[in-house]
Amino acid sequence: MIPAIPSPLAPHRIITLRTGIDHWKIDPWEENEGKPLLEESSFATLYPTYREAYLREVWALVTQTLEAYGIGCVLDVIEGSMTVFTTMKTSDPYIIIKARDFIKLLARSVPFEVAKRVLGDDTACDIVKIGNRVRNKERFLKRRKRLIGPQGQTLKALEILTECYILVQGNTVALVGPFKGLKIARRIVEDTFNNVHPIYNIKKLMIKRELAADPALAEESWDRFLPQFKKKNVKRRKPHKVRAKDPNAYTPFPPAQLPRKVDIQLETGEYHLTESERARRDKAAKAKAAAQAAENAVARRNKDFKAPDESARNDAATAAPSASSSRSTVDIVAAIKSSSSKRKRGDTSVGADLEALEAEAARPSKKHKSKDKAKSKSKDKSKSKDKAKSKSKSKSKKE
């Protein structure tokens, strides 16, 4: 029985409320309801090259199917496109949109038997783009494989629960089915690429399917029956790193104001100087800098003409022979004493050694040799000078 209530705007009118209406149902179109269309409408879509052979095989069936709805179609192999357009026999104004979806599904590798379902009133299609949902290519391939499942089992379970045909290919997912199922299937596909495993949604759909069969729960909330899944991924504990404070780190306060040129001049007293005083001070500073530069240049040039320090080298050269001579003299004296004591005892085997030691003692050292050479040279020079003087005297006498 349909309840009747008075209208708030017109109390004398009665509003009847209809119950048990399926709002998803679309009334079928009858050909005698409309007239031929006034203008021609057409849609075209491109298809990939690998799809051409299949379209050639089924194009006769495509033409026959579309002619039943008063739609014409053309397959252009040169351009690689399919076109549908209305004719004078077309009476349904929305059938051209259905035909457009039909050729779109054929271009996306959907079989002909599945694609022609979209021409019905209770079936629609949806294309879900998944290429831009994940940036990482490896992650994208992993989640797409997760949607398909091992040997396509996950996809088959979704098709049974949503009553939709699902085709995953490339960067898109093609869906064909009722409106309610398309809405659920699209949400599951988007959740899968948002890192929600499809098995969770499959469990929820199975529970909802069982609850829908119970008429007592038709008007109750099903939230208490549905599972609530939580993340169980425990993050690894990272060691606490004590980082040094970065001087360039962000601070909410603005930096301190830098002093102006006038402020610096006021601090140094330069602000109160006259132009002549400033010029005199600058000239004195330049003269001082020039004098310092000249002094540095002179020191740099004189550095090459400075004689090295030879005192250390002379000390080392004189210390070595004196030590050797002193050592040799001590050894000679000790040897002479030992040989004299042996001679007193009557030992005659040391004669040769004694002669060798006497010869070594008589031999002058290097230092004495150099002194003797210097003396001989000075004597020769004095002799030559005396000879020259005597010659000059003799010449003067002769004159």
Model confidence at 237: pLDDT above 80: no
Residue ranges of the chain that CATH labels 3.30.1370.10: 30-121, 123-227
Mean pLDDT of the chain: 80
For strand 172-177 and strand 124-129, is the pairing parallel, antiparallel, or unpaired?
A: antiparallel
CATH number of 30-121: 3.30.1370.10
| pLDDT confidence of residue 274 | 86
**The pLDDT of residue 23:** 73
Q: What is the pLDDT of residue 248?
A: 75
pLDDT above 60 for 15: no
- Whether 25 shows a pLDDT value over 80: the answer reads no
**pLDDT score recorded for residue 399:** 47
Distance (Å, whole) CA 154 – CA 272: 89
Beta strands in the chain (DSSP E): 4-6, 14-16, 42-46, 71-76, 81-86, 124-129, 165-169, 172-177
pLDDT of 362 higher than 70: no
Contact 82, 74 (CB under 8 A): yes
pLDDT grade for 121, boundaries at 50, 70 and 90: confident
What is the rounded CA–CA span in Å between residue 145 and residue 168?
A: 10
Q: Which residue in 71, 74, 73, 75 sits closest to 53, CA to CA?
A: 75
CATH value of 123-227 in 3.40.50.261, 3.30.1370.10, 3.40.50.920, 3.40.50.11540: 3.30.1370.10
Average pLDDT over residues 146-165: 93
Distance CA 40, CA 89 (A): 11
Quick one: pLDDT at residue 321? 54
What's at 225, amino acid-wise?
F
> E strands of 64-144, at which residues?
71-76, 81-86, 124-129
pLDDT, residue 6, reads: 52
How far, in Å, CA of 203 to CA of 197, rounded?
11
